[in-house]
Structure 1
């Protein structure tokens, strides 16, 4: 059985994007793991406080694709049937912004547990920046101004994650130090314009819209941090 066939057979999928402008190609890739040819896609923009401009941008991209987009706003009147809403989707896409605030709001509404249940049920989880790192056990975030810190996340995927690895000064040094100091476990760093796909609990593939960008395995080995660039398929 090929790796791609095995990945297709697993009903649990997460596509984590390292940030930057999310291209249509990356969106197509994320949607390709859904169970239907014309998936229902739910946008969750909590990390920006449901900023209308970001929501409009994402709708403009999704309307170019063969899908049915909608969104969940948690800073307006929140639907009472959150579980039914989430489980009724084919794909959930989470936007970037303040990861710490996003996770706090989700936990207040019980959305964190609903998303885990939906993932187990076969709803594709995806997102960029804050929406890409939230699925891991821990992450490197800039939720606090002028600093990068370790933050516990949802724990659906093992290890830690850092976005914007090639796009923001200080990201690489800080992520490696957080791992070296034991504040974060071994993890994955993702460049901008790069998506990583997990089938179940396993990393299946790295894809990129930029031939130079990729993702990196960053871990402790023999008392020091070792970084290994992963092979990325160009979209």
Structure 2
């Protein structure tokens, strides 16, 4: 089985005429369908740990995917206890595990309390597509900048590290200086080099190698950012394919 991850920056504020995150989610389903290699609906498990298993987030995904013939949607919540009796068995039967954005710090703390890191690595090895926006993107990497502790961005390095580099999301956000903060952290050695995505851009990895970047927003890009050995960084733009 191919080990694969699709990590993306969701569209925080859709522009007039944009479809928001829907094309990215449809791309996730398409990758899940390719993984199946057989006829039948895509088995998608939504994991909203990073937003504290918010019922509103669960309802939103149930509205989008619950009535479709090409998707079998399940939800794994962990508050106050796991919503399925066998978490490992359930996740290993999925085509896609889709992790919600939110607090990556709280996400990883709860996952570790429930033994999810080992289970998710097993899913990855078994070819289950691991996907998600924001915190659901950072978690598969070593880490990245986060505002989970305070309003100020800080380096987080306790991700699953399936992908052995850092990740920065919402790299073009006007609300916080995420672009500058990420590059400063890489230059200072607080984060290893890695990949940043602007809003609407996703990264598809096979194993630990990036095979494609995609976007729902014209002009949006991904960036490879590495330390230059002289208190700075070298950055290389990656032009994504439009979905």
> How does the TM-score come out when normalised to structure 2?
0.88
Distance 1:212 1:197 in 2: 18
Gaps of 5+ in 1: 1-9
Distance, in Å, in 2 between the alignment partners of 1:77 and 1:96 is 20
Alignment of 1:159 onto 2:165:
yes
Distance in 1 separating the partners of 2:59 and 2:149: 26
The structure 2 residue matched to 1:18, chosen from 6, 9, 26, is 9
Contact persistence 2:166–2:191 (CA under 8 A): yes
Distance (whole Å) between structure 2 residues aligned to residue 62 and residue 188 of structure 1: 30
Which residue pairs with 2:154 in the alignment? Answer: 149
1:67 aligns with 2:75: no
Across the two proteins, how many residue pairs are aligned to each other? Answer: 226
**Shift, 1:222, TM fit:** 4.5
Could you tell me which runs of 5 or more consecutive residues in structure 2 were left unpaired when the two chains were aligned.
13-19
Specify the SS of the correspondent of 1:32.
helix
Q: Deviations over 1:166-219 (max 9, x none)?
A: 124210111011101101000111111111100111001010001111211111
Q: Which residue of 2 aligns with 1:44?
A: 47
Q: Secondary structure at the match of 1:114?
A: helix
* Superposed displacement of residue 64, structure 1: 6.7
Query: Which segment is superposed worse, 57-66 or 76-85?
Result: 57-66
Residue aligned with 2:235, SS: strand
Question: How far apart are the structure 2 equivalents of 1:64 and 1:25?
Answer: 18
Deviations 1:105-133 (A, max 9, x none): 00010011100100100110000000011
Matches within 5 A, 1:105-184: 105-152=110-157, 153-167=159-173, 168-184=175-191
For 1:199, the equivalent position in structure 2 comes to: 206
Output the CA distance in 2 between the equivalents of 1:216 and 1:31: 25
The match for 1:94 among 79, 99, 104 is 99
Shift of 1:221: 2.0
Question: 2:182 & 2:67 partners in 1: Cα distance?
Answer: 36
Superposed CA RMSD in Å reads: 1.5
- Please list the CA deviations of residues 38-92 of structure 1 after superposition, one character each: whole Å capped at 9, or x if unmatched: 2110000000100111111222222475211110010133134111011011100
Q: Structure 2: how far apart are the matches of 1:218 and 1:59? A: 37
TM-score with structure 1 setting the length: 0.91
* 1:103 equivalenced with 2:108 (yes/no): yes
In the alignment, what sits opposite 1:27? Answer: 25
Q: Decide which of 226, 240, 243 is 1:232's aligned counterpart.
A: 240
Name the CA distance, whole Å, in 2 between partners of 1:209 and 1:154.
Answer: 27
Q: Distance in 2 between matches of 1:120 and 1:68?
A: 22
